[in-house]
Amino acid sequence: MAVSLEEKVARLELLHRVGVALTAERDRDRLVETILLEAKKLCHADGGTLYLRTEDDHLRFAIMHTDSLGIALGGSTGKPIDLPPIPLFDEDGRPNDNNVATCAAILKSSINIPDAYEAEGFDFSGTQRFDASSGYRSQSFLTIPLINNQYRVIGVLQLLNAKDPQTGEVVPFDPEEQRIVEALASQAAVALDNQMLLDGQKKLLESFIQMIAAAIDSKSPYTGAHCERVPIVTLMLAEAACEATEGPFAGFSLTDEEWYELKIAAWLHDCGKVTTPVHVMDKATKLETIWDRIDMVRARFEVLERDARIRMLEAKAAGDAEAEARFEEEVKGLREDLAFLEHANVGSEFLSDEAKERIRAIGARRYVEGGEERPLLSENELENLCISRGTLTEEERLIINGHMVQTIQMLEALPFPRHLRRVPEYAGGHHEKMDGGGYPKGLYAGDMSVPARIMAIADVFEALTAQDRPYKKGKTLSETMRIMGFMKADNHLDPDLLDLFVTSGLHRKYADRFLPEELIDEVDEEALVLSKKPRAFEPPDEEERRRRWEGFLPQYEKLRGSVMGEAVADDATLGD
């Protein structure tokens, strides 16, 4: 009796320890493994299987162990179970009560079978075939449904061949042991259901975030899969930093939660772009708003040409012999001026001061519309056509840079749980520079975490190599890395991280996967690492950084909604 009491206490202590372990475990594979192994231990079972219920009402093999045969599949073993799931119902919707596991699930009741070869009402033919081929003898079975707090079966625990701890002989499962395992199964069902709910919420969150990213990419054909590719580069570089055994990142590491936090931040890094109008994102030419206003300019030149023809005909009628020659010369000049404006409108090259003067001179010409004389180009059209580089005015650049303000405000407004609290920092800092000259907050290297600096490199690299921007062609790998080398020297990018990006070969790995073959060329990696050294600089003080943020914010808010022509920047140093 004393031994029996001692065994009961030991079992209860084990049950308590298992309950605590189940509550603490966060990995589903390890969780199902713990459930099965501890259940086997409680009743000295030789083998066991844990099934999980699928959405289409099948029991899927999650883990399988048989000690005497050396079988360990599923769970955390990494070895898959190559067995088809068992349907709970047949094609006509009738319960599958021939299989003991499905029957226990349908009845929501435990089934204790002393000897499978003598059991009636269940189909053990598959078990018997396995025994015949392996020399094993499947005898006693204890099958217990895992039922959650909504009284829904979420899985089935099945134990095989209980053994007498003294003799090792296979015996039926003891009713008292069955009650202990049922208590374990009840705790396991709660723990497993909680884990499945958490996994479901996690998948829902990730899917929602990826939906937002896909919507941003789909919003404009010119951003392509930017929001999808930046996380790829980010995680590649973070992994290289974690694997570093020497140098500045030898002690850098990320926990599973920190990896997830960085992944979420990378997917959300441009979420503020949802507020940017499509005609802003797609401003491929200087005169583009909702449409390209160069068509209006062409119409005005047609008016000038029409008026010139009328004057020519009137002069010829008056006997002017040189009228037609002057007309041909004037038309030639008009068409040359129009061609010049069309070329300047594209913004594909730097616009000189001489070219700007010519644009102003052309714009000062007069034409008649609706009986009213007007300048050929309006002030707004002159301002846009005289942009020195790219397609954006300074005000428009401020607006496009403001997507980071929206990103930060949107993310800081979300009630992120503790393990995701740094998502706004990581996502909101990828346009900052090491010398404090970035935006929107003017942070410098000392203000930024390693993951935030990693994202800055990922964003620039993807932008430079992208093939789908309206304002530039995709750059070759060597051009991309050369530009990033200059950005390193100018203290725009973290020098140690860029060196790691180069020496680990990540630029080439990415290129092999995403770039067309003609853009993958040789990169002078030694020059990037050794020759491009960052210049010394004085970091801005706290007051200066605060002033930059507080100055940028009202400017952006004032211009937002009032500027009609926006697009992404012409140079990837402004980024995506």
* DSSP letter for each residue of 101-124: HHHHHHHTS-EEES-TTT-SSS--
**Residues 273/279/283/285 CA torsion (nearest 10 deg):** 180
At residue 464, what is the residue type?
L
Q: Which two tokens stand for residue 544?
A: 């200066």
Task: Give the phi and the psi of residue 90 in degrees, each rounded to 5.
Answer: -85, -175
> Cα(190)–Cα(154) distance, rounded to whole angstroms?
10
pLDDT score of 533 more than 70: yes
Tell me the per-residue pLDDT of 11-30, one tens digit each, with 9 for 90 and over. 667 666 766 666 766 777 88
> Cα(430)–Cα(94) distance, rounded to whole angstroms?
57
pLDDT score of 177 more than 70: yes
Q: What is the pLDDT of residue 85?
A: 94
Pick the CATH number of 223-283+398-559 from 1.20.1250.20, 1.10.3210.10, 1.10.3720.10, 1.20.1090.10: 1.10.3210.10
> Cα(165)–Cα(486) distance, rounded to whole angstroms?
73
Q: What is the pLDDT of residue 565?
A: 36
pLDDT score of 114 more than 90: yes
- From the list 434, 433, 399, 441, the residue with the least C-alpha distance to 272 is 399
Q: If you average pLDDT over residues 351-363, what whole number do you get?
A: 92
Q: If you average pLDDT over residues 59-75, what whole number do you get?
A: 93
pLDDT band at 35; cut points 50, 70, 90: confident
Locus of tokens 């714009």: 363
Q: If you average pLDDT over residues 290-313, what whole number do you get?
A: 88
SS3 77: coil
CATH 3.30.450.40 domain residues, the chain: 11-199
Q: What is the pLDDT of residue 282?
A: 65
Tell me the per-residue pLDDT of 425-471, one tens digit each, with 9 for 90 and over. 999 888 888 888 887 888 888 788 999 999 999 999 998 898 766 55
pLDDT band at 34; cut points 50, 70, 90: confident
> Cα(318)–Cα(299) distance, rounded to whole angstroms?
29
Mean pLDDT value across the chain: 84
Judge: domain 11-199, CATH 2.40.50.140.
Answer: no
- Greater confidence, 396 or 451? 451
Pairing state between β 170-171 and 58-66: unpaired
pLDDT band at 328; cut points 50, 70, 90: very high
Q: What is the pLDDT of residue 572?
A: 38
Could you tell me the end-to-end alpha-carbon distance of the chain, in angstroms, rounded to an integer?
76
Q: What is the pLDDT of residue 225?
A: 79
Task: Give the phi and the psi of residue 507 in degrees, each rounded to 5.
Answer: -60, -40
Query: Do residues 519 and 465 make contact, with C-beta atoms less than 8 angstroms apart?
Result: yes
Tell me the per-residue pLDDT of 190-248, one tens digit each, with 9 for 90 and over. 888 888 888 888 889 889 888 888 887 777 666 667 888 999 999 999 999 999 999 89
Q: What is the pLDDT of residue 263?
A: 94
Q: What is the pLDDT of residue 549?
A: 64
Q: If you average pLDDT over residues 414-421, what whole number do you get?
A: 90
Q: What is the pLDDT of residue 479?
A: 92
Q: What is the pLDDT of residue 554?
A: 62
Q: What is the pLDDT of residue 559?
A: 57
pLDDT band at 145; cut points 50, 70, 90: very high
pLDDT score of 180 more than 90: no
Task: Kindly state the helix (H) or strand (E) to which residue 162 belongs, with its residue range.
Answer: strand 153-163
Tell me the per-residue pLDDT of 481-506, one tens digit each, with 9 for 90 and over. 999 999 998 899 999 999 999 999 99
222 contact partners, CB below 8 Å, separation of at least 6: 281, 282, 284, 468, 469, 470, 567, 568
pLDDT score of 568 more than 50: no
SS3 435: strand
CATH 1.10.3210.10 domain residues, the chain: 223-283+398-559
CB-count exposure of residue 86 (10 Å: 0-12, 13-18, 19+): middle
pLDDT score of 571 more than 50: no
> Cα(247)–Cα(280) distance, rounded to whole angstroms?
43
pTM of the model: 0.69
- From the list 212, 218, 224, the residue with the least C-alpha distance to 470 is 224
Tell me which DSSP letter residue 565 carries: -
